[in-house]
Amino acid sequence: MPLERNPCFSGRETELTQLRQVLKREGRAGVSQVQAIAGLGGVGKTQTALEYACRYYYDVPDAEQYQAVFWIRVDTEQAIQSGYQQIAEELGLPQAEAQDLGITQDPEVIVQAVKRWLAQHSGWLLVLDNADQPEVVEGYLPKQGQGHVLITSRVQDLQRLGVVRSLNIEKIEQEEAKEYI
């Protein structure tokens, strides 16, 4: 993950519980579960996604843990391709090694290699952060695999990305703000 866990994170327990419930629901076999956190800029979508990822990667019993967590900023197509390149490198995929040796790869080859890995493995979480242009992100979503995709976005309607209903994050309540301070 490109971000460090916020040791001062507090609140959002209801939202974190809802995320877990939605993502753990049994879906169709072989199809990734997709959920989104939506809301205005600055309300804590990224921090909530980060806390969720850390909590279910580090803090829970092994049977509940994600085996791998990947994080991609999806502001631009170039950022998405770069994120997939990093994932390919972390996984040691041959397509990434070719790139490291100076053999130019079409970014789509790397994206498809990562998607194949995701389709063949379970227990992973892919966070697509800042998906404010769903039409750009759509072609990069893994459609197969026994993993979870968590999207953060200012856009409320993300049905084209497979999100039935986004979890809307609002500004924190006064009591949560007091607790944080």
Please state the pTM of the whole predicted model: 0.89
Mean pLDDT by groups of 10 residues along the chain of 181 residues: 84 91 70 88 94 93 90 95 94 79 77 95 95 93 90 92 86 74 72
Phi-psi region of 122 (alpha: psi -120 to 50; beta: other; left: phi over 0): beta
Helices marked H in the chain = 13-24, 45-58, 77-91, 94-100, 107-120, 134-137, 174-180
Domains of the chain: 14-78+124-175 (3.40.50)
Taking CA atoms, 6 is separated from 11, 60, 88, 156, in Å, by: 12, 17, 27, 25
Pairing status of strand 122-129 against strand 167-168 = unpaired
